[in-house]
Amino acid sequence: MARSPRVARRSKGTAVVTALLIVVLATTVVSGLFVRENVTVRSVENRLALAQTRWIERAALDWAKVILRADARSGVVDHLGEPWAVPIAETRLDETVTAGARIGDASGTAMLAGQMIDAQSRLNVNGMVQGGQPVPEQVAAFRKLLGLLGLPESLADAVLARVRASQPRTLDGKVILPTDLPLLRLADLMTIAGFDAVAIEKLAAFAIALPKPTPVNVNTAPAEVIAAVVPELDLTGARRFVARRERTFFRQLGDASALLEGQPVLPPSLLSVGSGYFIVRGVIRFDRVEATSETLLERSIDRVDIVWQQRY
């Protein structure tokens, strides 16, 4: 029996709709595959770029170690006129540094910027306790620094208790083991009641947590730190001293004392003219990846070691 024209038109319309649905479905599937492929490619490219920035970061740290070792051979004095103290402005790296690596045709060149900072230009909070016992001069210096920065001086007692708890000490002939973790970075002060992000930010340029007790380098310390470690000195006098220091540096503490008002005696337990700890800060940009890192280096007589590294 022949189909009526009406039924034939309906069947034809159904076939067209079905074909359109198949085309839409196929287009959706193919588009999804393309999107997934694009995401995968971008992910791989980002991983490659990140790996390349890590190699550049490692090369920059190796360069910093070479500079510090060369500086150590020139003498024990460290000051702001030496090569290690010269910051590196944002610099384009050629393909010899990146080993010719290119993520794609649109890849940009690698960029590097960095700076090396004398970690002993800051007051070491871990120096407040030595051999399990408080060091009154160091505690007084930290207390004065807090006051100069507009922070409660009572915070010094809280930090002292925290540092004491992180070190073994002897009581009545018995060794008492630490009851708390050591302070590794200044941000660890956030675990102490009374400290917040604002207080840490105020302290960041003037205090630090180093693994060993260290004196402050009189050649590199800012005025606030100089005023804190010299009891007889106020902040105004310390700023005048730092202004005079811009034209010279000191090979021994006696030379620095001669430029200080009143010529106070500078104890070697609190001050020095050299340093053993340095912070390397760097920013690396390669393709779509930007990596920022901060590394603490310890320099001994014949080697430079990484103490810790933090990436942002």
Token pair for residue 83?
A: 């090569």
- Strand bridging mode 129-130 / 123-124: unpaired
Q: Which amino acid is at 272?
A: S
Q: Which parts of 98-219 are beta strand (E)?
A: 110-118, 123-124, 129-130, 133-134, 169-171, 174-176, 207-208, 216-217
Q: Among 1.10.287.610, 3.30.70.141, 3.30.1300.30, 3.40.1280.10, name the CATH number for the domain at 1-120+275-312.
A: 3.30.1300.30
Where are the domains positioned within the chain? 1-120+275-312, 123-266
Mean of the pLDDT values across residues 157-167?
94
CA-based nearest residue to 121, from 85, 175, 154: 85
Strands 110-118 and 289-299: unpaired
Which residues neighbour 217 within 8 Å (Cβ) at sequence distance 6 or greater?
Answer: 78, 118, 120, 121, 271, 272, 273, 274, 275
Strand 133-134 versus strand 110-118 pairing type: unpaired
Reported pTM: 0.82
pLDDT at 90: 86
pLDDT digits (tens, 9 = 90+) for 210-262: 999 999 999 999 999 999 999 999 999 999 999 999 999 999 999 999 999 88
* Coil, strand or helix at 119: helix
Amino acid making up residue 54:
R
pLDDT digits (tens, 9 = 90+) for 266-305: 989 999 999 999 999 999 888 778 889 999 999 998 899 9
Residue 41 or 250, more confident:
250
The DSSP 8-state label assigned to residue 102 in this structure reads -
